[in-house]
Amino acid sequence: MRVTLTLGAERDLARAQEWYDSQAPGTGHRFLIEYHILAERLEENPLQFPSVRGSIRRAGFQRFPYGLFFRIRDDAIEVFACFHASRKPRRW
């Protein structure tokens, strides 16, 4: 399966990368590398990540306090949000 990002998820990732780079140059790049590693894990087996509400699942980053919220759609994994762990995901 392939991972697809909604426009909202793309914005979430870009904002997080910008924030990390503003705190320490290069950290945003490391954040994106970790996203790509997590996306590969999603492609290999999306069911390894827990369901948080109905068909919605969350995949957590290893070194950053973020999670990808996604659902499985036919032959794709749709990531629709990337949230900091301290945020309440009511924005979905």
**Domain that includes residue 52, residue range:** 2-83
* Domain count across the chain: 1
pLDDT of residue 13: 97
Domain-located, residue 89: no
The partner residues of 4 in beta bridges, in order of sequence, read 78
In a domain, residue 77? The reply is yes
Model confidence over 25-83: pLDDT tens digits? 999 999 999 999 999 999 999 999 999 999 999 999 999 999 999 999 988 999 999 99
Contact 53, 32 (CB under 8 A): no
| Tens digit of each residue's pLDDT (9 = 90 or more) over 9-26 | 999 999 999 999 999 999
Question: What's the pTM value of the predicted model, to 2 decimals?
Answer: 0.89
Judge contact between 58 and 52, C-beta under 8 A.
yes
